[in-house]
Amino acid sequence: MDNTDNRTDLPEGRAGQTREAADTATAQAASGKQAKTGGMTRRTLCLGIGGAAVMLGLGGLKLANPQAIIRPPGGQDEDRLISACIRCEKCYEICPRDVIRPAHIEDGILNMRTPTFDFSENYCDWCTEENGGTPLCVSACPTRALELPAGATKENVIIGRAVINTDWCLAYKLIGCRFCYDTCPYEAIKLDDENRPVVLDNKCNGCGACESVCVSLQNGSISEGATSRAITIKPLDQVER
């Protein structure tokens, strides 16, 4: 049986029937129970407007005071990073030292799932060993949220700055610990007269090497009440007055 759509092929009578049926259907739809606005039910319209409003409301989160957190190389321009990052976790995955982690909600709602650093196991040396000094996170970022300015080197891009909590630092209890001093690749830590480490602000770029070797937390009985290691990398905003 050929039931192709070509109505003009149909005998006169049947075509008439079809038209009638269609007209009836139109009338029924027009007097339908659902109030319609521009071919859309009111319910759909409400849902749509509600959804769009939520999206605009979420956008307003940008207006809330953003919390500064440390960023991987190329993410120092905070506005750029927030505007371009789609939270795809690519930088987290590619990082050969596994020091990049997605930020948590504690770091701010807007920062959630954007890249930040976790120096508990290792530190960032711009993939010198792994990729000849070009950070893999920067080359893997598909949206250029992480992008290095021209002439950027690991010495002149400041990720953050090491800050020593002297209450928790073992050396400040005159125990003679100097792990951070020994490991710093930039000679940005000096020892004072009592062999206590002091960060040289103009040399520290926040690579995290000191934080990754700090043993203060392993000595909980000595540094009681500590919630983090004694030397940590802080974003510049929090360090500079």
Query: In angstroms, what is the minimal distance from the CB of 1 to other proteins?
Result: 6
64 in contact with other proteins (CB under 8 A): no
Q: 37, 70, 75, 94: which one contacts other proteins (CB under 8 A)?
A: 94
54 in contact with other proteins (CB under 8 A): yes
Identify whether the C-beta of residue 103 lies closer than 8 Å to the C-beta of residue 81: no
Q: 71, 72, 75, 92: which one contacts other proteins (CB under 8 A)?
A: 92
Q: Select from 170, 212, 213 the least CA-distant residue to 195.
A: 170
Q: x/- site string to other proteins, residues 132 to 171, per CB under 8 A? A: ----x--xx-xxxx--------------------------
Q: x/- site string to other proteins, residues 15 to 34, per CB under 8 A? A: --xx--xx--xx-xxx----
Identify whether the C-beta of residue 212 lies closer than 8 Å to the C-beta of residue 202: no
Q: Counting Cβ atoms within 10 Å, is residue 236 exposed (0-12), middle (13-18) or buried (19+)? A: middle
200 in contact with other proteins (CB under 8 A): no
Residues of this chain, 100-139, that bind other proteins according to CB under 8 A:
101-102, 104-106, 109-110, 112-113, 120, 136, 139
Helix (H) or strand (E) holding 20: helix 12-30
Query: In angstroms, what is the minimal distance from the CB of 121 to other proteins?
Result: 8
Query: In angstroms, what is the minimal distance from the CB of 135 to other proteins?
Result: 11
Q: How far is CA 172 from CA 134, 177, 191, 215, in A?
A: 37, 9, 11, 13
Q: 69, 70, 71, 95: which one contacts other proteins (CB under 8 A)?
A: 95
Phi/psi at 105 (5° precision)? -65, -25
H helices present in 31-173, as ranges: 42-59, 78-84, 90-94, 128-131, 136-140
Please, which residue, 112 or 226, has the CB nearer to other proteins?
112
221 in contact with other proteins (CB under 8 A): no
99 in contact with other proteins (CB under 8 A): no
H helices present in 111-184, as ranges: 128-131, 136-140, 179-183
